[in-house]
Structure 1
Amino acid sequence: MSANLIALLYEATLQTLYMVAASTVLGTLFGLPLGVFLAVSQRGELLSAPWLNKVLGLVVNATRSVPFIILVVAIIPLTRAIVGTSIGTDAAIVPLTLAAIPFIARLVENAIREVDAGLIEAARAMGATPMQIIAKVLIREARPAIALGLTLAVVSLIGYSAMVGAVGGEGLGDLGIRYGYQRFMPEVMLAVVVVLIVLVQLVQSIGEWIAARFDKRVPRNRGH
């Protein structure tokens, strides 16, 4: 591969990292509290609001059921309204974020629901308020599962970021399509695939390490 293509691969990798990082932060910012609320708002639970829970659940399910490539095209007017264009890395962050929010919300909801109900009852018996239980019991105990869930979300966003290259986004997907496919340069396509695999493996390793640090059940290696 020429030095020019290596430079293009480097630039495309940075663009992908930017898109994934921005959409992960924004998706978590909205998806985490949404997931917590979905987990504690059914009838008889800490923040009982069954009708709102049902409505939000339907919205989350509807958004998750739309294939990502269709979502990208469907929200082009919204993307233009937010960033002023429908192409490029900034534009790609909009559909990536909208795809991440419901995905993260469901992962967080499942993580919260896995917390032992006995811990909630114990906190109630000690006079803890619902918000104290959510913050100091549910979220604290669910941190390992939430970390693994966010890791899965980031891995999915890496794949989605490659897909936006087909509809005007930049990054590794765009590089693979323009050079590897349209210009019949299989070495570029191979390089893109290798970089994506490395990114996924790196994210997975970091996520598992963070989850292990949070998990009180995993003994720390103290050496000999």
Structure 2
Amino acid sequence: MPEIILKYQAEIWQSIGETFVMVGISIFAALLVGLPIGTLLYLCRKGQMLENRALYSSLNIFVNIVRSFPFLLLVVFLIPFTRFIVGTAIGTMAATVPLSIMAIAYYSRLVEQALLEVPRGIIESAVSMGASVPEIIFKFLFVEARSSLLLGLTTSTISFISYSTVMGIVGGGGVGDFAIRYGYQRFETELMIYMIIIMIFFVQMIQYTGTTIAKKLDKR
């Protein structure tokens, strides 16, 4: 191992752990809230089973507004809300609040797009067989769109890692914050390069894993 890595190995492992916490909670929020919102966006569209213009417009506006926010400004804007939710605006857990909100909006749009790719004939067949709405969602929509949903989650995860690198502004830590504080600000250019390599490695592993599994799930 390079000497510079050995010198800061404790801090490096801590920063990697902080990144995993932030990204992990963001992924959980995306699945727990973003997946249902994206499904509702699809179901409430004009011409769909649960067509509801008011609900669709409300959800659509929420998603568009959050995704339109420059992420750094969103972090600052949400400081009072973050303090209300977790009791503090500083630290790794505080950083997960704006990350999770962005994750929900980001993934819900990808879910809607994935479900729109499902052939309409499949849904019409399910309706003709007397399937209920929950059955159509879980036994037809999600099954047919599972590959696209996974690819969307993979893309989202990589974006969450990118967003996590700016969380140093609220003391969130993580690999990006470590690279700036220890690498850039202390003129340890070699250390910063190694941290960039670590980030690239993580992203490539996530992309490869997600793409491989998605190909296996795609039965088309």
TM-score by length of 1: 0.93
- Secondary structure class of the residue paired with 1:72: helix
Q: Does 1:61 align with 2:70?
A: no
> Would you say 1:45 and 2:48 are equivalent positions?
yes
What does the per-residue CA deviation read over 1:55-113, in whole Å, with 9 as the maximum and x for residues that have no partner? 11011101110011000010011111111221211111001101100100000000000
1:163 correspondence with 2:146: no
Which of the numbers 71, 83, 86 marks the counterpart of 2:86? 83
Q: Following the alignment from structure 2 to structure 1, what is the Cα–Cα distance between the partners of residues 177 and 5?
A: 18
Report the TM-score, using the length of structure 2 for normalisation: 0.95
Show CA shifts across 1:188-216 (max 9, x none).
Answer: 21111011101100111111122122111
- The equivalent of 1:139 in structure 2 is 142
2:34 is the counterpart of 1:31: yes
Aligned to 1:220: none
- After TM superposition, the structure 1 = structure 2 runs for residues 159-198 of structure 1, keeping only pairs within 5 Å, are 159-198=162-201
Unaligned runs of 5+ in 2: none
Query: Which 10-residue stretch deviates more, 46-55 or 160-169?
Result: 160-169
Residues 1:17 and 2:48 aligned together: no
Asked whether the 8 Å contact 1:166–1:173 carries over to 2, the reply is no
Report percent identity of matched pairs: 45
Would the aligned equivalents of 1:36 and 1:112 in 2 still touch at CA under 8 Å? yes
Code of the residue aligned with 1:153 in structure 2: it is S
Q: Which runs of 4+ in 1 moved over 4 A?
A: none
* Alpha-carbon offset, residue 2 of structure 1: 5.3
Instruction: Give yes or no for the alignment of 1:110 onto 2:96.
Output: no
Separation (CA, whole Å) in 1 of partners of 2:38 and 2:94: 25
2:37 aligned partner, one-letter code: L
Is residue 5–residue 191 contact of structure 2 (8 Å, CA) maintained in 1? Answer: no
- Number of corresponding residues: 217
Q: CA RMSD of the aligned region, Å? A: 1.2
